[in-house]
Chain A
Amino acid sequence: MRRIDECRRRLVALALLMASAAAVAASYPLIGQSAPDFALRAFTGDNVRLSEHRGEVVVLAFWSSDCSTCGAELAAINRSFSTYRTAGLTVFGVSVEDSRRHARQFAGAHRVGFQMLDDPTEEVSRQYAVDSLPMVVLIDRNGTIRDVHHDFGPQDEAGYRAELRRLLDE
């Protein structure tokens, strides 16, 4: 009897978790819409325009040096990027930072294989309705925003990978 109660409690907790995740995704206004185009300078390398990457699965990872989990998330995304870059995955880290110096230091300290972009006017963050950090936006090959993730925990990496695989297979 106790085991059934425990099982029931877990199921309720799981349902609540899924409902809250769905609510977060549903509350994001841009899901299903065309990803707003932008052009940004990279901390190192060439300027980037999003529309030039149509046909690729694009991940936008918004970060700030103040955010405690951004570094871990960027490292996790970098692992996925190393695996799937040849399959058509493109990742951009986008700085949401008031201080250019801190942003540059953070970008330099986190060695990742993808480009880190500077958004000095925070125009892109506004376009993508970034309300908390870290935030990851997944864009499919047609340029449509498919999903958004807030926060990051070690258990999320497998979910990211599964989702990326699904988008890459489309």
Chain B
Amino acid sequence: MKLSTFRALLIGATILCAALPSGAAPAVPEAAPSTAAAAPASPAADAASPAASAGTSAAGSAPGTSAAGPAGGSAPVTQSPSAADTRALDEEAQSLKKDVVDLNRDLYVLEEELLYPANTQVAVFLSMDVGSFFGLDSVELKIDRKEVANYLYTPREVDALMKGGVQKLYVGNLKTGSHELVAFFTGKGPNDRDYKRGASIKFDKSIGAHYLELKINDRQHRLQPEFEIKDWGE
């Protein structure tokens, strides 16, 4: 919870920083002159920033005024700089959006790494092959007799699974050693009857993330669905 708040705050801060007027941009190279790499970079940044600010700061300041000198004061504002400004602003907004998306992804990865370290992580996936003999309704998952997940499926989710989607049903932490996973599948079986089946597996968790996959297949010769758990190990 705290991590997600932290993530939201970071994204908010990024948006705020980027939303600052571009006139503030030259302050950045000045603020970090301590590193050797920053020193040669700053002239380039300074060189680049006027070019950028020519497009953006004019938009940020009054669009009706011009810094071009006395001629700018008397001449009416033409339409073309405004269009260019809009385009520059649009590009800036797009790059900002991309930055936010990238940051969000990085923070998500960081959150996953912190919450589920690789040495204790166990992840359970669910996939479905064909599925014409079974209409999935819900899956209940127990690890060492403790319920860890109970997922109810909507028709859209079942469609996605039948099209080849793989769902990350559960991710959690387990100590090293022997464990048992039990999965109960409920839904509609052949002839539209209520259907509930279980599958279980015993697995040894060692150091490193452990992956398991619940697979729902059609057993054509029996005209029945088949439920299996595949241990992908580490």
Contacts and interface: CB of A to CB of B under 8 A. Distances in A.
A2 B153 CA distance: 65
A100 interface: no
Contact of A40 (B137, B152, B156): B152
B204 interface: no
Contact of A41 (B151, B152, B155): B152
Interface of A (DSSP majority class) = strand
A101 B154 CA distance: 24
A82 interface: no
A127 interface: no
B157 interface: yes
Contacts of B155: 46-47
Nearest to A40: B152
A167 interface: no
Nearest to B137: A47
Contacts of B151: 39
Nearest to A48: B154
A170 interface: no
A41 B156 CA distance: 14
Contacts of A47: 137, 152-155
Interface in B115-162: 137, 151-157
Contacts of B152: 39-41, 47, 49
B170 to A, nearest CB: 15
Interface in B156-173: 156-157
A52 interface: yes
A4 B156 CA distance: 62
B153 to A, nearest CB: 6
A40 B153 CA distance: 9
A39 to B, nearest CB: 4
Interface string A36-69: 0001110000111100100000000000000000
Contacts of A41: 152
A13 B24 CA distance: 54
B20 to A, nearest CB: 26
Interface string B105-118: 00000000000000
Contacts of A40: 152
A40 B137 CA distance: 11
A49 B152 CA distance: 9
Contacts of A49: 152, 154, 156-157
A40 B154 CA distance: 9
Nearest to A38: B152
Contacts of B153: 39, 47
Interface in A6-57: 39-41, 46-49, 52
A61 B155 CA distance: 23
Nearest to B156: A52
Contacts of B157: 49
Interface of B: 137, 151-157
Given A47-B154, A48-B154, 8 more contacts: A39-B152, A39-B153, A46-B154, A46-B155, A47-B153, A47-B155, A52-B154, A52-B156
Interface of A: 39-41, 46-49, 52
Instruction: State the 8 A-B residue pairs at the shortest beta-carbon distance, nearest first.
Output: A39-B152, A49-B154, A47-B154, A46-B155, A47-B152, A52-B156, A52-B154, A46-B154
20 contacts: A39-B151, A39-B152, A39-B153, A39-B154, A40-B152, A41-B152, A46-B154, A46-B155, A47-B137, A47-B152, A47-B153, A47-B154, A47-B155, A48-B154, A49-B152, A49-B154, A49-B156, A49-B157, A52-B154, A52-B156
